[in-house]
């Protein structure tokens, strides 16, 4: 069993692109669910819109990447408005139903043969639509150490990605600690009381949905640029629920919790996989107990078991405050 290789793979995943993507997605969900109480089960839809908004304008229409990023932000705002206008005046469960359905509609449209010329159908879009971004890369040689390893492009995405996460987190911290943020938390606790004080609850909810959605689309930007490819099946419902796992693991309604939750999530996922795989290949784990092809499923089973125990013994997450947000509260 190569312990150093396991450490290298685990730490690279903990600080890597996937951790950045899920941290951003969870930050958006934290605005929706953690601070405003909105049940958005369609965050994958915002990521898909962000990813396709980067790829399609560059590959199909020959626009600049920087223009495409602005188009992605605009598209995510429109998507949030389409979701919020008919649902935010209703109960929270209506928003949950609409968002999960809308995200699946976005994915199916992207897979549709009707739009195969522009969206690529089920094969998606592959191409150098991130060339303008990677041309700015000063780390062409990448990074190789005994405990961390990134190629040149991945290192550039990781550095810029974590800077982006830090900037968004700082903005979030300012927002949630402002009078605006206190109104959001009040809406989460009792929107009728906030409405009785003359606040436009519908408008505040819409602002939250838009802000969290834009952050989700930024996660889609990172997803697309890091892979130089956009496939619709990468933006299924599971992506949203993994983002919720990250949020709940860290603790909802805590500014830094999504970041820590994403790092812990990917640390455990990769560490468990590498240890099991090394144990099977070195015959420390007998074949009749776990096969090499079963390692992927076993790691998610163990993660699921751990999450169940977390919900039983600490439902507010690692850094959450049970007095402020109880996930097991009864309506």
Report pLDDT digits (tens) over 293-326: 889 899 989 988 988 898 888 888 888 876 665 4
What pLDDT score does 323 carry?
A: 65
Instruction: Map residue 289 onto helix, strand or coil.
Output: coil
- Band the pLDDT of 330: cuts 50, 70, 90: very low
Tell which residue, 110, 132, 127, has the closest CA to residue 119: 110
Q: Would you place residue 225 in the very low, low, confident or very high pLDDT band (cuts 50, 70, 90)?
A: very high
> What whole-number distance in Å separates Cα of residue 95 and Cα of residue 275?
40
Q: For residue 203, what pLDDT band results from cuts at 50, 70 and 90?
A: very high
Measured between alpha carbons, how far is residue 43 from residues 31, 98, 196, 213, 297 in Å?
A: 12, 12, 31, 7, 24
| Average pLDDT, integer, range 194-217 | 96
Q: Which pair of tokens denotes residue 96?
A: 């949950």
Nearest alpha carbon to residue 266 among 287, 241, 292, 246: 246
Confidence band of 142 (pLDDT split at 50, 70, 90)? very high
Judge whether 50 and 212 are in contact, CB under 8 Å: no
How do residues 180-199 score in pLDDT, each as one tens digit?
A: 999 999 999 999 999 999 99
Q: Is 331 a residue whose pLDDT tops 60?
A: no
Q: Is the dihedral of CA 274, 317, 255, 185 positive or negative?
A: positive
What pLDDT is stored for residue 1 in this prediction?
62
pLDDT tops 50 at residue 328:
no
Name the DSSP letter for residue 321. -
Q: What mean pLDDT is reported for the chain?
A: 92
């Amino acid at each position: 069993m190569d312990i150093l290789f396991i450490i290298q793979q685990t730490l690279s995943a903990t600080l890597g692109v996937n951790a950045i993507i899920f941290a951003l997605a969870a930050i958006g969900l934290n605005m929706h669910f953690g601070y405003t109480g909105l049940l958005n089960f369609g965050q994958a839809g915002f990521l898909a819109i962000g990813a396709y908004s980067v790829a399609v304008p560059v590959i199909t229409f020959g626009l600049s990447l920087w223009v495409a990023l602005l188009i992605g932000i605009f598209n995510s705002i429109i998507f949030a408005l389409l979701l919020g206008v008919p649902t935010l005046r209703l109960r929270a469960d209506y928003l949950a139903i609409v968002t999960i359905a809308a995200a699946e509609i976005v994915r199916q449209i992207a897979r549709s043969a009707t739009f195969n010329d522009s969206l690529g159908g089920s094969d998606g879009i592959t191409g150098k639509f991130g060339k303008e971004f990677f041309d700015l890369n000063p780390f062409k040689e990448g990074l190789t150490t005994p405990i961390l390893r990134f190629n040149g492009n991945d290192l550039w995405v990781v550095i810029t990605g974590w800077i982006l996460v830090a900037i968004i987190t700082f903005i979030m911290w300012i927002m949630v600690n402002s009078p605006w943020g206190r109104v959001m938390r009040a809406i989460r606790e009792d929107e009728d009381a906030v409405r009785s004080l003359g606040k436009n609850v519908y408008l505040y909810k819409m602002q939250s949905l838009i802000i969290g959605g834009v952050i989700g689309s930024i996660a889609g930007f990172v997803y697309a640029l890091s892979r130089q490819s956009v496939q619709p099946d990468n933006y299924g419902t599971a992506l949203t629920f993994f983002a919720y796992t990250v949020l709940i693991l860290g603790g909802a309604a805590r500014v830094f919790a999504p970041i820590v939750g994403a790092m812990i999530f990917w640390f455990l996922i990769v560490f468990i996989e590498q240890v099991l795989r090394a144990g099977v290949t070195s015959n420390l784990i007998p074949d009749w107990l776990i096969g090499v092809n079963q390692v992927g499923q076993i790691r998610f089973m163990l993660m699921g078991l751990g999450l169940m125990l977390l919900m039983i013994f600490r439902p507010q997450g690692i850094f959450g405050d049970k007095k402020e947000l109880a996930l097991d509260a009864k309506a």
